[in-house]
Amino acid sequence: MNEARTPVSTPAGAPAVGHSNMANAIRVLAMDAVQKANSGHPGMPMGMADVATVLFSRFLRFDAARPDWPDRDRFVLSAGHGSMLLYGLLYLTGSQAMTLDELKRFRQLGSRTAGHPEYGHAPGIETTTGPLGQGLGNAVGMALGERLLNARFGDRLVDHHTYVIVSDGDLMEGLSHEAASLAGHLGLGKLIVLFDDNHITIDGDTSLSVSDDQPARFAAYGWHVQAIDGHDADAVADAIAAAQASDRPSLIACRTTIGYGAPTKAGSAKSHGAALGEDEIAGARANLGWDHPPFEIPTEILQAWRAVGAKGAALSAAWDARLAEADPASRKELLRRLAGTLPEGWREAIQEVKRATCEAAPTVATRVASQRVLEALAPRVPELVGGSADLTGSNNTKVAGQEPVSAQDFGGSYINYGVREHGMAAAMNGLALHGGVVPYGGTFLIFTDYCRPSIRLAALMGQRVVYVMTHDSIGLGEDGPTHQPIEHLAALRAIPNLKVFRPADTVETAECWELALDSADGPSVIVLTRQGLPTVRREHSTENLTARGAYILAPAERARDVTLIGTGSELSIALEAQGLLAAEGISAAVVSMPCWELFGAQPQNYRDEVLGAGALRIAVEAAAPFGWERWIGPGGDVIGMRGFGASAPAKALYEHFKITAEAVVESVKARLAPG
Ligand X SMILES: Cc1ncc(C[n+]2csc(CCOP(=O)(O)OP(=O)(O)O)c2C)c(N)n1
CB of 231 to ligand X, least distance (A): 15
Q: Is 132 in the site for ligand X (CB under 6 A)?
A: yes
Contact 199, 168 (CB under 8 A): yes
CB of 193 to ligand X, least distance (A): 14
Q: How many residues of this chain bind ligand X (CB under 6 A)?
A: 20
Angle, CA 447 vertex, CA 420 and CA 396 arms, to 5°: 80
- Residue 328: which residues within 8 A CB-CB, separation 6 or more? none
- Residue 452: which residues within 8 A CB-CB, separation 6 or more? 491
CB of 34 to ligand X, least distance (A): 12
One residue of 17, 28, 33, 44 binding ligand X per CB under 6 A: 44
Alpha carbon of residue 195 to chain centroid: 22
Q: Is 563 in the site for ligand X (CB under 6 A)?
A: no
Angle, CA 530 vertex, CA 524 and CA 535 arms, to 5°: 85
With H, G, I as helix, E, B as strand and everything else as coil, classify residue 129: coil
**Phi, psi for residue 565 in degrees, rounded to 5:** -110, 120
Q: Is 272 in the site for ligand X (CB under 6 A)?
A: yes
Select from 18-26, 75-83, 476-484, 511-519 the region that touches ligand X (CB under 6 A). 75-83
Q: Which is nearer to ligand X, 173 or 383 (CB)?
A: 173
Q: Which is nearer to ligand X, 44 or 588 (CB)?
A: 44
Q: Which is nearer to ligand X, 131 or 387 (CB)?
A: 131
User: What is the distance in angstroms between the CA of the first residue and the CA of the last residue of the chain?
Assistant: 85
**Phi, psi for residue 637 in degrees, rounded to 5:** -145, 155
CB of 227 to ligand X, least distance (A): 16
Contact 620, 664 (CB under 8 A): yes
One residue of 49, 51, 85, 258 binding ligand X per CB under 6 A: 258
Q: Which is nearer to ligand X, 46 or 616 (CB)?
A: 46
Residue 298 CB-density burial (10 A; 0-12 exposed, 13-18 middle, 19+ buried): middle
Instruction: Give the chain's radius of gyration (CA, Å).
Output: 28
Select from 39-47, 329-337, 375-383, 644-652 the region that touches ligand X (CB under 6 A). 39-47
What does the DSSP assignment read for 628-644? THHHH-TT-EEES-SS-
CB of 85 to ligand X, least distance (A): 10
Residues 289-318 that bind ligand X (CB under 6 A): none
Q: Which is nearer to ligand X, 265 or 537 (CB)?
A: 265
Select from 37-45, 395-403, 414-422, 433-441 the region that touches ligand X (CB under 6 A). 37-45
Select from 16-24, 41-49, 231-239, 309-317 the region that touches ligand X (CB under 6 A). 41-49
Q: Which is nearer to ligand X, 141 or 267 (CB)?
A: 267
Residue 42 CB-density burial (10 A; 0-12 exposed, 13-18 middle, 19+ buried): buried
CB of 272 to ligand X, least distance (A): 4
Q: Which of 117, 115, 2 is nearest to 51 (CA)?
A: 2
CB of 84 to ligand X, least distance (A): 11
Residues 155-214 that bind ligand X (CB under 6 A): 167-169, 173, 196, 198, 200-202
Contact 246, 224 (CB under 8 A): yes
Q: Which is nearer to ligand X, 171 or 301 (CB)?
A: 171
Q: Which is nearer to ligand X, 130 or 439 (CB)?
A: 130
Residue ranges in 496-612 assigned as alpha helix (H)? 506-518, 571-583, 596-600, 604-611
Q: Which is nearer to ligand X, 85 or 281 (CB)?
A: 85
CB atoms within 10 A of CB 625: 16
Q: Which residue is nearest to ligand X (CB)?
A: 169
Annotated active-site residue 359? The verdict is: no
Contact 566, 591 (CB under 8 A): yes
Position 424: which residue type? Answer: M
Catalytic residue among 178, 280, 421, 514: 421
Residues 80-99 that bind ligand X (CB under 6 A): 81-82
Contact 183, 246 (CB under 8 A): no
Q: Which is nearer to ligand X, 137 or 309 (CB)?
A: 137
Contact 598, 499 (CB under 8 A): yes
CB atoms within 10 A of CB 335: 13
Select from 79-87, 97-105, 300-308, 603-611 the region that touches ligand X (CB under 6 A). 79-87
One residue of 40, 88, 130, 522 binding ligand X per CB under 6 A: 130
CB of 166 to ligand X, least distance (A): 8
Q: Is 389 in the site for ligand X (CB under 6 A)?
A: no
Alpha-carbon separation of residue 408 from 151, 153, 156, 248 (angstroms): 11, 17, 20, 12
Question: Any idea what DSSP says for residue 51?
Answer: H
Q: Which is nearer to ligand X, 4 or 30 (CB)?
A: 30
CB of 140 to ligand X, least distance (A): 17
> Which conformational region is residue 435 in: left (phi greater than 0), alpha (psi within -120 to 50 degrees), or beta?
left
CB of 416 to ligand X, least distance (A): 27
Select from 124-132, 365-373, 466-474, 622-630 the region that touches ligand X (CB under 6 A). 124-132
Residues in the chain: 675
Helix (H) or strand (E) holding 486, with range, is none
Q: Is 113 in the site for ligand X (CB under 6 A)?
A: no
CA-to-CA distance for 135 and 146, rounded, in angstroms?
16
With H, G, I as helix, E, B as strand and everything else as coil, classify residue 646: coil
Select from 128-136, 289-297, 418-426, 664-672 the region that touches ligand X (CB under 6 A). 128-136
CB of 212 to ligand X, least distance (A): 13
User: Which residues are catalytically annotated?
Assistant: 421
Binding site for ligand X (CB under 6 A): 41, 43-44, 79, 81-82, 130-132, 167-169, 173, 196, 198, 200-202, 258, 272
